[in-house]
Amino acid sequence: MSTTLALTEALIARPSVTPDDAGCQQLIAERLRPLGFVCETFASGGVTNLWAVRDGSGGDSAPRLIFAGHTDVVPTGPVEAWRSPPFEPTRRDGLLYGRGAADMKTSVAGFVVALEEFVAASPAHAGSIGLLLTSDEEGPATDGTTTVVEALRARGERIDYCIVGEPTSVDRLGDTVKNGRRGSLSGRLVVHGVQGHVAYPHKARNPVHMVAPALAELSATVWDEGNAHFPPTTFQVSNMQAGTGATNVIPGTATLDFNFRFSTESSAAGLEQRVAAILAQHGLGEADYEIRWVRSAEPFLTPAGALSEALTDAIMAETGVRTTLSTTGGTSDARFLATLAGQVVEFGPVNDSIHKIDEHVALDAIEPLKNVYRRVLAALVA
């Protein structure tokens, strides 16, 4: 058994359902401290965060290359639906099964072993190397990576290169690397009407009818055309609620939950203003509705540069796969790291089983993943 596989299995065996770290970070810190890593724990709101850094022999911390990820996993769902217990790592038919196998304990194990091997080969390396782990990525993400980033910013620390171990590969290890993500802006719109009897509509005011023309335009609006790195901004309604459940009652309020996934061609403030203008255009005044906005992520992009080139070269050398840089998908903790780090990319295993029953990773991808991480260290820090 390889060292990386052994550590992956040890991590899967710890039931670290968010925000519980279940001792994963302590296990990792105990491995890194003897190698000269200074390990700090940032605890906040029941969340555990590990910041581990090793400075090179030259005394200059630049360049600083950090691996980042999370030790928490999503709940298992019905345990009886799994072919093997979700927290008992099981090898079967060339795959390693267990909750977190793909998202993202294999990446975390790859980080740790890559750092160990790199230090053994280059104990007097330049710059600094390290690891940032949280147990809050799968949860609200309010006490995790963002907490560490703000603490580092307050101390005047900076990251030059950051690789986040999210499972980005689609069909084969290395086929996709994320070099950016779209922004996410959610809104809850509550339209106020007047409840009444459906037989006497002149004595009521139906909020569904009030909002319907505006909703039709919101759904049809082209918010932007996107650009070479991002698809166009999208608007989607996720929930719509109105009525008492009775068929003869005009509702008094209608509530819509919606979300924008937006490119760098739009801004959250601009989208909020355009929504308000469309509502006003269709006769909804400020007294007719209230809206609550949640800006959960700004879009970010790391243009092709030293980090993406080192990573794509490492993937080609290790796997023979030609990488595509992409900004598709949802949000990740890279959105927080991008505010501190000069260059941020995401790379990890194939993602087709993440969050599913019988989550798994290919056994023959575990060592190559670790080797890619080690090659990047050698290219940028040694």
Is 137 considered catalytic here? yes
Host domain of residue 25: 3-181+299-381
Averaged pLDDT score across all residues of the chain? 96
d(CA 102, CA 159): 26
- Same structural domain for residues 269 and 202? yes
- Same structural domain for residues 14 and 112? yes
User: What is the per-residue pLDDT across 277-299, written as a single tens digit (0 to 9) for each?
Assistant: 999 999 999 999 999 999 989 99
What CA–CA distances, in Å, run from 225 to 233, 328, 369? 7, 15, 35
Q: Kindly state the percentage of the chain with pLDDT values over 90.
A: 96
Nearest residue to 12 (alpha-carbon basis) of 83, 94, 80, 71: 71
The answer to whether 359 is a known ligand-binding residue is no
pLDDT for the residue numbered 58: 65
Is 72 considered catalytic here? yes
The answer to whether 116 is a known ligand-binding residue is no
Instruction: Assign residue 135 the CATH number of its domain.
Output: 3.40.630.10
- Same structural domain for residues 322 and 336? yes
For residue 357, count other CB atoms closer than 10 A to its CB: 15
- Same structural domain for residues 175 and 187? no
Instruction: Assign residue 211 the CATH number of its domain.
Output: 3.30.70.360
The answer to whether 103 is a known ligand-binding residue is yes
The answer to whether 197 is a known ligand-binding residue is no
The residue type of 112 is: V
User: What is the per-residue pLDDT across 216-238, written as a single tens digit (0 to 9) for each?
Assistant: 999 999 999 999 999 999 999 99
- Point out the domain boundary residue: 297, 329, 347: 297
For residue 6, count other CB atoms closer than 10 A to its CB: 13
Confidence of residue 60 (pLDDT cuts 50, 70, 90): low
Question: Could you say which of 20, 137, 298, 359 is catalytic?
Answer: 137
Q: Structural domain tally of the chain?
A: 2
pTM (predicted TM-score) = 0.90
Q: Are 358 and 77 in contact (CB under 8 A)?
A: no
- Same structural domain for residues 274 and 352? no
User: What is the per-residue pLDDT across 83-133, written as a single tens digit (0 to 9) for each?
Assistant: 999 999 999 999 999 999 999 999 999 999 999 999 999 999 999 999 999
Question: Could you say which of 21, 55, 72, 333 is catalytic?
Answer: 72
- Same structural domain for residues 275 and 311? no
